[in-house]
Amino acid sequence: MSDLVTLNVGGKVYTTSRSTLTRFPDSMLGTMFSTAIPVKKDSQGHYFIDRDGKTFRHILNFLRTSHLDLPDNYKEIKLLKREADFYQIEPLIEAVQQKEAEIMAVGQNAMMNISLDQKVQTVHFT
């Protein structure tokens, strides 16, 4: 299957299809895998991208599904934002910005339980 592509991203190896990588033609990956631009390869012949390999998992999943699915309490949103910007995947950049706004909104709200006259009262702060 010539449509399969193996990538080495920062030392992590991923295998996917060329159609997944070119899903957004204006992105860096879309350009990289749909034109004759020379691409670096590692010693095993995998396409080499000198970026964060762990974070690329989320980039690749977005390319596959067009959804940004992050684990609960994901702590590396700024890194993901930089990586999305590097790969120039505009829908992903927008999804990351939306997720970042949601995280900020949650972080700005607080709740406190107060015990008054043996009754627990919940107070919300924004």
Tell me the domain boundaries of the chain. 4-125
H helix or E strand, kind and range, residue 39:
none
**End-to-end alpha-carbon separation of the chain, Å?**
55
Task: Tokens 């990538």: give the residue.
Answer: 7
CB count within 10 Å of CB 105 equals 10
pLDDT in tens, 52-95: 999 999 999 999 999 999 998 899 999 999 999 999 999 999 99
- The model's confidence at residue 39, banded by pLDDT at 50, 70 and 90, is confident
CATH number of 4-125: 3.30.710.10
* φ, ψ (nearest 5 deg) of residue 54: -65, -40
pTM of the model: 0.79
- C-alpha to C-alpha distance for 54 and 80, rounded to whole angstroms: 10
